[in-house]
Amino acid sequence: MDESDTRRAARVGGEAPAADSPDGAGRVDIGVCRSLRITCISETGWHDTGALLGDIKAAGGMQANQWKTAWQPGNGAGSASLIEIEAVDGRGYRILLDTGWDPDYMAERFAATGVDALLRRGEIDLLLVSHEHFDHFWGLEAVLRLRPDIAIALPASLRDEGRAFLRGGAFAPAGARNGIAHTGRLLWHGADEVHRLADGVAAVAFDLPIALGVRGEQSLYVNVAGKGIVCITGCCHQGVERFAQFARDRLAGGERLHGLYGGLHLAPFGPLDDAAQAAIRSLAEYGFERIACNHCTGAVAVEKMIELGYPVVCGSGGSGSASERYVGNGDQLRFGCGIDDEPAHGTEPASDF
């Protein structure tokens, strides 16, 4: 299946066919791309962690339903990234990973990074929602204002409230709002299946219960020529070991894991516990050559990785991100042959391939 086939699959709304041609070990060949560029639109999920934790406690703890929780107005920001893939023949494929939380905040971030213009012109091929949590999904209206018919790929485990949210509506007292019905196609991704989106790009949904009544998270794998596989995640609720091991066990070329990007959910609210410490130590087993973590990874976890000598990619510390120690809002990084592995500083306006 070539890239035009996968683009067509996304636009007509069926599931993109699973990648074929297993290798001798039964691993799936997802193809290869020439280069990858990631723009961190926003990694700031919320403004005040204390207020967020207070809201969760008042709702009954981490087992509460996020759609019925009274979140403090004005605390929402959001997590979202632009994933740009250059095919071997030079053609491009763009994925918007997540939509953030507050639509107005996200509209500002889309404008600051040039994503608004790409959406208006129909130059983003797919919106991929990693999971249903408020800071990754509730900013949907900011996308639909610009492109209501964009194809959306979601975990098949999405709750009824999430499905209703796609059709437009408001949820009180949560403060979630979407005033624009989605009119495009939906791609539902079942767990543990390799969904090839374009040449060298695949999505995989992982089934597990996660906090606040949400189930399942999907992530991306991009196989970059001459480099290896880059693992891209929203929050990595499935665990970084499970995420990396899936690539090693199930994807052709998985023995070389080149990059890791996104939230790793190690210390989102503060100190490292024993499980997080063990997860950080396990990263050494996979040989990542670039680790560009942010969002729910937690600053203390990033510092631990740096202490252990891991190849952590630094950022600019601008546009609302709290530190230069990790890739932050407005930062951009590239992967590919002939591309220097340099710190991510500043965002170039999104451009044609």
Q: What is the 3-state secondary structure (H, E, C) of 99-111?
A: CCCCHHHHHHHHH
**How far is it, in rounded angstroms, from Cα 138 to Cα 323?**
25
φ/ψ of residue 126, rounded to 5: -155, 140
Q: Are 127 and 96 in contact (CB under 8 A)?
A: yes
Q: Are 320 and 77 in contact (CB under 8 A)?
A: yes
Q: Are 315 and 306 in contact (CB under 8 A)?
A: no
- The model's pTM is 0.92
- Cβ-in-10-Å burial (0-12, 13-18, 19+) of 317 comes to middle
Q: Sign (positive/negative) of CA torsion 101, 107, 113, 118?
A: positive
Q: Which residues of the chain have pLDDT under 50?
A: 1-17, 348-351, 353
Q: What is the 3-state secondary structure (H, E, C) of 128-197?
A: ECCCCCHHHHCCHHHHHCCCCCCCEEEECCCCHHHHHHHHCEEECCCCEEECCCCCCCEEEECECCCEEE
**How far is it, in rounded angstroms, from Cα 213 to Cα 159?**
9
Contacts of 260 (CB under 8 A, 6+ apart): 230, 231, 233, 240, 244, 283, 288, 290, 291, 292, 293
What pLDDT is stored for residue 4 in this prediction?
Answer: 36
Give the burial string for 18-57 (b: 16+ CB within 10 Å, else e): ebeeeeeeebbbbbbbbbbbbbbbbbbbbeeeeebeebbe
What pLDDT is stored for residue 34 in this prediction?
Answer: 98
Structural tokens at position 339? 């591309």
Contacts of 15 (CB under 8 A, 6+ apart): 9, 187, 188, 189, 195
Which amino acid makes up residue 127? L
Tell how far CA 252 is from the center of its chain: 22
**How far is it, in rounded angstroms, from Cα 322 to Cα 129?**
25
> Where do the structural domains in the chain lie, given as residue ranges?
28-336
What pLDDT is stored for residue 22 in this prediction?
Answer: 67
Q: Are 163 and 175 in contact (CB under 8 A)?
A: no
Terminal CA-CA length for the chain: 21
**How far is it, in rounded angstroms, from Cα 91 to Cα 116?**
21
| CATH value of 28-336 in 3.40.50.720, 3.60.15.10, 3.40.50.300, 3.30.390.30 | 3.60.15.10
Residue 304, sorted as left (phi over 0), alpha (psi -120 to 50) or beta, turns out to be alpha
Which amino acid makes up residue 101? W
Structural tokens at position 242? 């499970």
Which amino acid makes up residue 310? Y
What pLDDT is stored for residue 180 in this prediction?
Answer: 98
Q: Are strands 214-224 and 332-336 parallel, antiparallel or unpaired?
A: unpaired
